[in-house]
Structure formats: C-alpha cells, structure tokens
C-alpha cells in the first residue's frame, strides 16, 4: 500500500471525512436523545405510590389484586398477552445495555487512537506527517462521535424501558384490580340474594370505563414517545450509514493516502512490461514514520523472476500493520508451496503461539470458535519460512534490521551442504542437523521470526471460506497470468493475542495506474466478549 499511495495532502486539504457534517449531526442527535424530549410527560412520575393507600382502604381486594397480578406476570399465555399489548421492559433494557457496551468500546477506541497518533508522531514534521496526523485525529473524533451517539441511544432506551415498565404495570394492575372487584362483588351478590345487582353493575361499569380511559391515554403516550424516538433513531441510522460509507471508501485506500507515498510503481511496471523488460520494483518504504518494512520475493518473483514481492509493514514499536503484494498470475503456484516445510511452519507457529490459536467460547451462547495458523500472504504465492531462508536472495545479515546477522554464516553452510552432491544433506532438516549446537540455536531463532512474519491466528470459518472466497481467490486462482494486481491486507485490534479484524483491498495495475478490482472488505476474526477456554 505504501508504494502506490497518492501524493501527500497539504495541511489545508480536508480529510476524507470532512464536509460530511457527521460530527455536528451526531452531537445534535446525542443531545436530543439524552434530553428525553421525545418522552411524553404523562409517562414521567407514574408508579405504585397508591398501592399502600388502596391496601388500607380495601385490604381483601388489594391482596387478591396482588395475587392476580403475580399470576398475570408469571404464567403464559397471560404474560405473553400483556407483553404483546404493552411491550417487554426486560428486552428493552437488554437493548439499552448492548448500546451502552458499544458506546463504551467506541469511546475507548477513540481515546486509544488519539493517544497512538500523538505517540507515533512525536517529534515528526513535514507535509505528509501533518496530513497523516490530521487524518487520524479526524478519525478519532468521528469514532468518539459514534460512541457518544451509541450512549445516547442507550440512555434513551433505558428511558423507554422505564416507560414500558410503568405502562406494563399499570395495565397489569388495572386488570387484576377489576378481576378482584368482580370476585368481591360475586360474594356480595350471593349474600344479598341479588338485591345489590344494580349497584354492582353500575360500579363495575364505572371502574372499567375509568380504567379504559386512563390506560388509553398512557398507551397512546407510549406509542407517541416510541414514534418520536424512532425518528431520532432514523437520524442516527443516517449518520451511521454515512460514516460506514465514508469508511468503506477509506479503508485500505484511505490509509494509502495518509501514508503520502508517490504513486510511481504502477506506471513503472506498466512501462517495463510494455517494452518487454523485467520489472524493477522501487525500494520498500515504511507505512508510518519510524516504521519498518520486510520485503520478501514471491514465487517466480524477486530479482531472478518477474520482480513480484510482498512488503510486510510494522510500526515504530514493531507491531504488525499489514502486508501488500505486487504480483501477476505467473506468481501463483498450482499447489500450496513448501509441502512438508509448510506443515512444519504451521506446527511451529502453533507451538510458539499456543495462547493465540486456542479455542474461544461465547459465554452467553456457549458457541466455541476454533483458530488456526493462517497465512497473511496466500500459500500459493509465497514459500514457507524454511524455503525463504534457504533462497539465495534472502540475506540473514539485513532482514529484521540486522538483528539476526549472526545466522548468516550458518545459513550459508546449510545452503552449501544442500548444493554439494557429495553431501548427504538434501533439505532443511538434514542440513540443519549438520550445524553445531550454537548454530542450530541461532538458526532456530531466525526461523521462528520468519515464521511469525507470514502466519497469524485466523478463525477457522473466517479463514475459509470467507477470506478465501471474497479475497484470496481473486488474487490467485481467478487471476489471469498476464494480469498484475496490488493487494493489501491490514490487521486491526488485538483480542486474546489474535487480530480482531482483517481488512483487504485489491487494485488492478494498468498503464494509467491503479483500478479498483475488489473494494475494501472487513472480516471479523474475533468477536468481542469471547472468553478463553479453561
């Protein structure tokens, strides 16, 4: 992604989210939601304050009414009919809690992003830096706005749950009061031998009419309150939809613009291919200030091939950001590369990262999610770690900032052993055994580092079929031999030592530059709330 980014924007150029008015709209809706102006006044302050007075005036009737209310509240189909009429306050409270959790998480992410921008950009200057800082700061503000809007929805739904509870209890109590009165009057009718019949009919009719009038007003106000809140919710939906669409245009490609690199690789590649010459890729450039890049040759690529490569990007602290590739259909192998070396690599990753590939469980539903060692660059495009290290283009003295330079002589010894016809060593394992103990330890550390470069933890179903069908297939199996693409895979967030979300983007490389082949897609790898299994 860094290689193909557009020229840096100046400080006076607005960000991709500017001009949409999302901050203003979102804050206005948040204030309206939290103010509860949508809630009808008649629903405030209602409750069971009259219960004790009723108990003193008519103890038998009130006790019977309470008993009937308990029956209505706890037994179907009576409670179901009541919930259908007035709503279920428990379900509304659950929705409120969900929105509250979403709002809290978004506000936390907004604060983390703001801190990260300040720390990463500390001491850095320049037009590109200013554009990057402006972009990420604006993104933080918008995420915070959505967090505030979510908490506004939580507050409003909590208010709705109270209103629903009030009306729910009023309807229940009116029904139970009426039924208890009928029971009491039945006894009076029996004892009076029918003499009180006119009085009973008139009193019951009066109670029913009064209850119906009161309840109709409250239910009507509850309906109007819900309608008013629904209009605010529609406004919130429009803000969220605009934000989602802005992010869709922003993911992957948006980060490329923020990086501020020159868009020179696509024309250089098209020009070289048009003249029948090999592609000489530009040198790798970090995605963020102070970051680093690890470049690896792809199958049939590199200096001895068509120049295809993969660039793995890290921030200044060594955290993985994403990987981009430039390759054609000629770089796609018919089968997974590496054979037994690929199997050994994935096993090594699982052994090194047991906490990252262990199953996770949803504590609510009980569903178990299984994880595996997944490739950042498809295994039809890049060799496993052992094959990459043995390749003559691989320089142990310079990879990973020279931190494994001491492995260079031992790797060279392994290469020579395999190349020597008189030496029985013919692969990694047999050549590795010929090293002295110190050499084996040094090479093992390099192998582990290289293994972690291209492998990460993928949820089983996210990895296949989702990621393969919607991303990898378009850049491997379905890619014509002479077609070139630029891909980018970004990892965001980290939960239980594995990426929370994976974002992908694919562009076709043509003579005019880049053309979007597959728009940015987001794949959820770890759902929030999952717990590690004991």
Number of domains in the chain: 2
Angle between helices 127-191 and 22-35 (to 10 degrees): 20
Look up the domain containing 210 and give its range.
23-47+77-258
% of the chain residues with pLDDT over 70: 57
Same domain assignment for residues 467 and 514: yes
What is the reported pLDDT for 3?
A: 38
Highest mean pLDDT among 128-142, 307-321, 382-396: 382-396
Same domain assignment for residues 88 and 208: yes
Question: Quick one: average pLDDT of 229-239?
Answer: 71
Task: Find, among 348, 338, 250, 367, the residue nearest to 1 by Cα.
Answer: 250
Task: Find, among 458, 495, 285, the residue nearest to 376 by Cα.
Answer: 458
- Render pLDDT for 41-76 as a digit per residue (tens, 0 to 9): 555 544 443 343 343 344 434 333 434 344 334 434
Does residue 77 have a cis bond before it (omega within 30 degrees)? yes
Spell out the SS3 assignment of 49-102.
CCHHHHHHHCHHHHHHHHHHHHHHHHCCCHHHHHHHHHCCHHHHHHHHHHHHHH
Same domain assignment for residues 344 and 247: no
Same domain assignment for residues 248 and 336: no
- Render pLDDT for 18-48 as a digit per residue (tens, 0 to 9): 545 566 666 666 666 666 666 665 555 444 4
What is the reported pLDDT for 303?
A: 87
Query: What band does 337 get if pLDDT is binned at 50, 70 and 90?
Result: very high
245/470: higher pLDDT: 470
Query: What band does 136 get if pLDDT is binned at 50, 70 and 90?
Result: confident
62/406: higher pLDDT: 406
Query: What band does 518 get if pLDDT is binned at 50, 70 and 90?
Result: confident
What is the reported pLDDT for 32?
A: 67
Q: How far is CA 39 from CA 49, 159, 228, 384, 513, in A?
A: 21, 8, 8, 62, 55
What is the reported pLDDT for 378?
A: 96
What is the reported pLDDT for 122?
A: 64
Q: Within a 10 A sphere around the Cβ of 430, how many other Cβ atoms? A: 14
Among 258, 277, 303, the domain-final residue is 258
What 66-74 contacts at long range (C-beta under 8 Å, 24+ apart), as own/partner pairs, is 66/176, 67/176, 68/175, 68/176, 68/179, 68/180, 69/172, 69/173, 69/176, 72/172, 72/175, 72/176, 73/172
Query: Looking at 250-254, 270-274, 304-308, 420-424, which range is the least confident one?
Result: 250-254
* ∠ CA 521-496-404, rounded to 5°: 90
Beta 360-361 vs 368-369: how paired, if at all?
Answer: antiparallel
Among 258, 279, 310, the domain-final residue is 258
**Helix/strand/coil percentages in the chain, nearest 5:** 55, 15, 30
Asked if the structure places residue 442 within a domain, the reply is yes
What is the reported pLDDT for 59?
A: 42
Same domain assignment for residues 228 and 354: no
Query: What band does 165 get if pLDDT is binned at 50, 70 and 90?
Result: low
The two tokens of residue 521 are: 């897609």
Query: What band does 382 get if pLDDT is binned at 50, 70 and 90?
Result: very high
Asked if the structure places residue 422 within a domain, the reply is no
426 pLDDT above the threshold of 80? yes
Spell out the SS3 assignment of 423-483.
CCCCCHHHHHHCCCHHHHHHHHHHHHHHHHHHEEEEEHHHHHHHHHHHHHHHHCCCCCCCC
- Render pLDDT for 443-460 as a digit per residue (tens, 0 to 9): 999 999 999 999 999 999
The two tokens of residue 81 are: 């009919």
CA pair distance 521, 506, nearest whole angstrom: 10
What is the reported pLDDT for 101?
A: 76
Asked if the structure places residue 432 within a domain, the reply is no
For residues 446 and 356, the answer to whether their CB atoms sit within 8 Å is no
- Render pLDDT for 339-361 as a digit per residue (tens, 0 to 9): 899 999 999 999 999 999 999 99
Asked if the structure places residue 298 within a domain, the reply is yes
What is the reported pLDDT for 49?
A: 36
What is the reported pLDDT for 52?
A: 36
**In what helix (H) or strand (E) does residue 488 lie, and over which residues does it extend?**
strand 484-495
Same domain assignment for residues 208 and 300: no
Question: Quick one: average pLDDT of 481-501?
Answer: 89
**In what helix (H) or strand (E) does residue 12 lie, and over which residues does it extend?**
none
Q: How far is CA 257 from CA 119, 128, 321, in A?
A: 20, 9, 15
In this structure, what DSSP letter does residue 276 have?
T
CA 513 to chain centre: 31
Same domain assignment for residues 103 and 41: yes
Query: Looking at 13-27, 39-53, 208-222, 247-261, which range is the least confident one?
Result: 247-261
For residues 405 and 470, the answer to whether their CB atoms sit within 8 Å is no
In this structure, what DSSP letter does residue 490 have?
E
For residues 493 and 501, the answer to whether their CB atoms sit within 8 Å is yes
Same domain assignment for residues 223 and 125: yes
* ∠ CA 169-170-173, rounded to 5°: 80
This model's pTM is above 0.75 = no
Task: Find, among 157, 125, 297, the residue nearest to 232 by Cα.
Answer: 157
Task: Find, among 509, 504, 514, the residue nearest to 463 by Cα.
Answer: 504
Query: What band does 132 get if pLDDT is binned at 50, 70 and 90?
Result: low
153 pLDDT above the threshold of 60? yes
Asked if the structure places residue 423 within a domain, the reply is no
Asked if the structure places residue 37 within a domain, the reply is yes
Asked if the structure places residue 277 within a domain, the reply is no
What is the reported pLDDT for 154?
A: 74
In DSSP terms, 503 is beta-bridged to 490, 522
Average predicted confidence (pLDDT) for the chain: 74
Asked if the structure places residue 284 within a domain, the reply is no
What is the reported pLDDT for 151?
A: 78
Same domain assignment for residues 231 and 299: no
* Domain containing residue 372: CATH number: 3.40.570
Same domain assignment for residues 206 and 140: yes
Q: Which residue has the tokens 């590690």?
A: 532
409 pLDDT above the threshold of 90? yes
Residues in the chain: 534
3-state secondary structure of 326: strand
CA pair distance 2, 358, nearest whole angstrom: 33
Query: What band does 278 get if pLDDT is binned at 50, 70 and 90?
Result: low
Q: How far is CA 267 from CA 209, 259, 279, in A?
A: 82, 19, 11
What is the reported pLDDT for 310?
A: 94
What is the reported pLDDT for 74?
A: 41
What is the reported pLDDT for 268?
A: 59
Same domain assignment for residues 150 and 219: yes
171/264: higher pLDDT: 171
Q: Which residue has the tokens 């692969």?
A: 427
CA pair distance 163, 47, nearest whole angstrom: 10
375 pLDDT above the threshold of 80? yes
Same domain assignment for residues 249 and 303: no
């Amino acid at each position: 992604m860094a290689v193909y980014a557009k020229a840096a924007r100046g400080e006076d150029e607005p960000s991709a989210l500017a001009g949409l008015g999302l901050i203003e709209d979102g804050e206005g809706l948040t204030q309206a939601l939290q103010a509860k102006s949508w809630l009808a006044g008649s629903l405030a302050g209602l409750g069971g304050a009259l219960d004790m007075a009723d108990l003193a005036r008519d103890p038998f009737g009130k006790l019977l009414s309470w008993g009937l209310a308990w029956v209505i509240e706890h037994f179907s189909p009576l409670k179901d009919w009541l919930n259908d009429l007035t709503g279920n306050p428990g379900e509304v409270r659950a929705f409120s809690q969900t929105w509250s959790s979403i709002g809290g998480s978004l506000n936390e992410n907004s604060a983390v992003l703001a801190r990260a921008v300040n720390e990463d950009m500390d001491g850095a200057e320049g037009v590109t830096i200013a554009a990057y800082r402006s972009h990420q700061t604006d993104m933080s503000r918008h995420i915070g706005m959505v967090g505030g809007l979510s908490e506004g929805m939580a507050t409003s739904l909590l208010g709705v749950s109270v209103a629903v509870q009030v009306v729910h209890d009023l309807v229940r109590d009116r029904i139970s009061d009426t039924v208890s009165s009928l029971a009491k009057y039945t006894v009076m009718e029996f004892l009076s031998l029918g003499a009180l019949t006119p009085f009973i009919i008139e009193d019951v009719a009066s109670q029913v009419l009064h209850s119906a009038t009161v309840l109709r007003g409250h239910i009507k106000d509850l309906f109007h309150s819900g309608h008013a809140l629904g209009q605010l919710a529609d406004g919130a939906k429009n803000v969220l939809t605009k934000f989602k669409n802005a992010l869709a245009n922003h993911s992957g490609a948006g980060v490329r613009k923020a990086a501020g690199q020159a868009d020179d690789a696509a024309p250089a590649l098209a020009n070289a291919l048009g003249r029948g010459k090999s592609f000489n890729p530009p040198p790798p450039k970090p995605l963020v200030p102070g970051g680093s890049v690890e470049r690896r040759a792809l199958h049939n690529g590199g200096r001895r091939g068509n120049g295809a490569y993969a660039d793995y990007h890290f921030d200044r602290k060594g955290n993985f950001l994403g990987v981009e590739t430039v390759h054609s259909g000629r770089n796609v192998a018919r089968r997974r590369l590496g054979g037994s070396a690929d199997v050994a690599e994935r096993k090594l990753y699982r052994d090194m990262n047991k906490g990252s590939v262990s199953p996770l469980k949803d504590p609510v539903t009980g569903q178990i999610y299984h994880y595996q060692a997944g490739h950042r660059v498809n295994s039809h495009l890049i060799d496993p770690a052992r094959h990459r290290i043995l390749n003559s283009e691989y320089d142990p003295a310079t990879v990973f900032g020279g931190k494994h330079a001491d492995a260079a002589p031992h790797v060279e010894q392994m290469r020579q052993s395999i190349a020597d016809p008189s030496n029985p060593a013919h692969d990694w394992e047999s050549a590795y055994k010929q090293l002295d103990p110190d050499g084996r330890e040094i090479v093992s550390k390099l192998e582990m580092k290289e293994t972690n470069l291209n492998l990460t933890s993928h949820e089983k179903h996210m990895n296949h079929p989702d990621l393969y069908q919607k991303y990898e297939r378009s850049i491997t199996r379905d890619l014509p031999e002479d077609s070139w693409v630029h891909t980018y895979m970004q990892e965001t967030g980290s939960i239980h030592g594995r990426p929370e979300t994976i974002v992908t983007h694919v562009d076709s490389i043509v003579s005019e530059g880049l053309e979007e082949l597959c728009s940015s897609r987001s794949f959820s790898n770890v759902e929030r709330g999952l717990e590690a299994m004991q």
